[in-house]
Amino acid sequence: MSSPDLPVVEFVLTIEVYNDRTAFEPDDLPASYRGPYWEGRHIERPLSPTVDAARQATDVERPWEAISGLMFTDHDDFSGTLSFTDQSMAEQWYLDRTTPEMLLANPVLTLYFEEKLAEMDEFEAISYEDARERNRPARADRAFIDALLEEYFDEDEADEMLDLVDVRTPEEIGQPLDEIVLTQQQEGEIQKIVKAIEHREYLAQIGLREIGKLLFVGPPGTGKTSVARALANKLGLPFVEVKLSMITSQYLGETAKNVEKTFEVAKRLAPCILFIDEFDFVAKTRSSDEHAAIKRAVNTLLKSIDEVSLIEDEVLLIGATNHPDQLDSAAWRRFDEIVNFPKPDVQMRADILEIVTHRMEIEDFDPHGLAELTEGLTGSDLRLVLREAVLEALTEERTTLTQDDLVQAVKEFEERDTLKNLDMMSDDNDALVAGGAEHDEHSHDHDH
Ligand SMILES: Nc1ncnc2c1ncn2[C@@H]1O[C@H](COP(=O)(O)OP(=O)(O)OP(=O)(O)O)[C@@H](O)[C@H]1O
Ligand SMILES: [Mg+2]
C-alpha cells in the first residue's frame, strides 16, 4: 500500500490553496474532501484542515502521525489543526510524489499548479477542465441532497416523501452500465442522451427543446430500473426516483403538492435524472373512478412533466412501464423517445450469464449451453437462477460451482415458474400432489 503521508499532505495543501483563492467553489474540491465541511446546503470558508477532517477526507486513520516526520509539517494540539511551516517545501514535496491520477481527481491543485505541470513531461496533458469534468459536483453529495430535502419537506411530510421519492447519489448505485447487457437500440438511445447532455447549450441555441424525455417499456425484470440508475452513475448525476403507486389515498391532501415539490427538488438538484417508475399508474387513474385527490395528483404530475426540460432545467426524465398498452395518447406524447426492453435473446442471455458470474468459480462453465436452456427468462430470472445455484452449493459446503449445478438450478426455476402459473383449482395437476414436482419429465415448456 502507498504511504499515508502523500494523501494527507495533499489534503492540507488543497485546503490551504482553496482558502486563499476565493474564486474556488465547492465543485473544485475533491468530492471526498467536502464531506467534513457541509453545513446545511453550504460549505463556508475558511475550511479548517483538522485531524478529524483529514481522517474523514483521506481515510488515513492517524493523519498527524502520517505526516509528523516531515520537516515542513506542524500540528496544533489544542485546535487539532494541521499546517505547513514551509508551504513551498510542501508543494515541492507533493509535486515530486504525486501521480497524474491523483491530480486529475483534484481540480484545486490542477489549477494551482497549472504552469508548473505544463513544464513537467508526465503531467503536461493534465488540464483543470478535465479535472473539473471528472469531479462529482457538490449537488450530488449526500449531505447536500439531505439538506435540500429537509428544506422542502418538513417533518410531518417526511414519511410520505420517503415513500414517494428516493434520491441516490451516483456512488450509491450498485450496478454500473458496463455490467448490464444492452440491445443495440438501447445502446443507441443511451449514446444519444449522453451526447444531448454534453451538447445541451448547442441544442438550446438551435432551439431544439423536445428532447430528454424517455419512456422505457418492457416486461418485469428486463433492466429498466437498472439502466436508468446506471445512467446516473455513468453521468455522475443524482438519481431521483418517484414511485407512482405510492400516490395513494393515504395522504390525500398533500399528495399533489408533494408531486410538485418533487419536481422542484429535481430542478434544484439538476443536472440530475428524474425516474418515474410504474408509469401505467397514470393511465389507470385517468380511466377509473379514482378519488378526486389522486386524480389531482396525477394531473399535477402530467403538468409538471410538461414543464420540466432537459435543455432548460437540466433534468433528464425517464419513465418506465410494464404495460405500455395501458397508456393513453396523452401519456405517450409526453415522451420523445421510446426505448424497448425486450426479453433477452439467446446471445444476450449468454452475455448476462457471463457478466453475472464473473466473480464466481464455475467448472466447465458453458454460458451458451445455459442460454439455450433458458429461453423466455429475463435478466432478473437469470440472476435468481444463479443465486439458487450458489445457495444450493453452499449447503454442500462448496464455493466452486459446476455447469451441472447451473443446469439443475434452471430446472428448479422452471418448476417454480410452473407453480406460479398453476391453476390451483384444477384437478389433474401432478404438481399439486406432494412429490409431483420432483419428476423430471414435468419440466415446464417455457413460453415458446
Ligand atoms: N440486460 C441485463 N443485463 C444485466 N442484468 C440484468 C439485465 N436485465 C435485468 N438484469 C438484472 O435483473 C434485475 C432486475 O432488473 P430491473 O429491476 O432493472 O428490471 P425492471 O425492468 O426494472 O423490472 P420491473 O418492471 O419489475 O421494475 C437487476 O438486478 C438487473 O441487474
Ligand atoms: Mg423496475
Which ligand number lies closest to the CA of residue 354?
Answer: 1
- What lies within 8 Å, CB to CB, of 33 at 6+ separation is 11, 14, 15, 57
Centroid of ligand 2 to alpha carbon of 63 (angstroms): 43
Burial of 21 from C-beta contacts in 10 A (0-12 / 13-18 / 19+) = exposed
- How far is the C-alpha of 287 from the C-alpha of 285, rounded, in Å? 6
Protein residue closest via CA to atom 4 of ligand 1: 180
Q: What's the DSSP call for residue 136?
A: P
**Ligand 1 contact, 319 CB (< 6 A):** no
DSSP element (H, E) containing 311: helix 310-313
* DSSP assignment string, 314-379: -EEEEEEES-GGG--HHHHTT-SEEEE-PPP-HHHHHHHHHHHTTTSEEET--HHHHHHHTTT--H
- Distance from chain centroid for Cα 364: 34
User: Alpha-carbon distance 103 to 48, whole Å?
Assistant: 21
- Where, residue-wise, is CATH 1.10.8.60 in the chain? 346-442
- Residues sharing a CB contact under 8 Å with residue 83, sequence separation 6 or more, in sequence order: 12, 16, 49, 73, 74, 75, 76
177 lines ligand 1 (CB under 6 A): no
Q: Contact 316/193 with Cβ under 8 angstroms?
A: yes
Rg of the chain taking only CA atoms, in angstroms: 27
Distance 16 CA to ligand 1 centre (A): 46
Q: Give the Å distance between the CA of 228 and the centre of ligand 2.
A: 9
d(CA 313, CA 271): 7
- Measured in Å, residue 435 CA sits from the centre of ligand 1 at 33
pLDDT per position as a tens digit, 173-210:
989 999 999 999 999 999 999 899 888 889 989 988 88
User: Does 382 sit in the ligand 1 pocket, CB within 6 Å?
Assistant: no
Q: Is 223 in the pocket of ligand 1 (CB under 6 A)?
A: yes
pLDDT of 62: 96
Question: For position 250, what pLDDT does the model report?
Answer: 59
Q: Rounded to whole angstroms, how far apart are CA atoms 15 and 336? A: 45
For residue 135, give every residue at least 6 positions away whose Cβ sits within 8 Å of its Cβ, in sequence order, or none: 27, 28, 30, 31, 105, 107
Decide: 38 and 67 in contact? Cβ < 8 Å. Answer: no
Ligand 1 pocket check for 7: Cβ under 6 Å: no
- Please report how the helices 403-420 and 379-395 are oriented relative to each other, as an axis angle in degrees rounded to 10: 120
Do 36 and 19 form a contact (C-beta atoms < 8 A)?
Answer: no
Quick one: fold of 140-340? Answer: Rossmann fold (3.40.50)
Residues of the chain short of pLDDT 50, as ranges, are 1, 436-448
128 residue type, one letter: Y
The pTM of the full predicted model, rounded to 2 decimals, is: 0.79
Q: CA of 296: how far to CAs of 286, 317, 327, 358, in Å? A: 10, 21, 18, 48
For residues 274 and 120, give the distance between their C-alpha atoms in angstroms, rounded to a whole number: 43
Burial class (CB in 10 A: 0-12, 13-18, 19+), 280: buried
pLDDT at 416: 81
Residue of minimum CA distance from atom 18 in ligand 1: 223
Atom 24, ligand 1: residue with shortest CA distance: 220
* Contact yes or no for 308/274 (Cβ under 8 A): yes
Residue 226 Cβ < 6 Å to ligand 1: yes
Beta strands at 42-43 and 337-340: parallel, antiparallel or unpaired = unpaired
Burial class (CB in 10 A: 0-12, 13-18, 19+), 212: buried
Q: How far apart are CA 175 and CA 168, in angstroms?
A: 13
Give span(s): CATH 3.40.50.300, the chain. 140-340
Residue 425: what pLDDT? 55
List, for residues 398-431, the tens digit of each pLDDT value.
999 999 999 999 999 988 877 776 655 555 555 5
| Ligand 1 contacts CB of residue 220 (under 6 A) | yes
Domain at 346-442, CATH class: mainly alpha
Q: Do the bridges between strand 73-76 and strand 213-217 make them parallel or antiparallel, or are there none, so unpaired?
A: unpaired
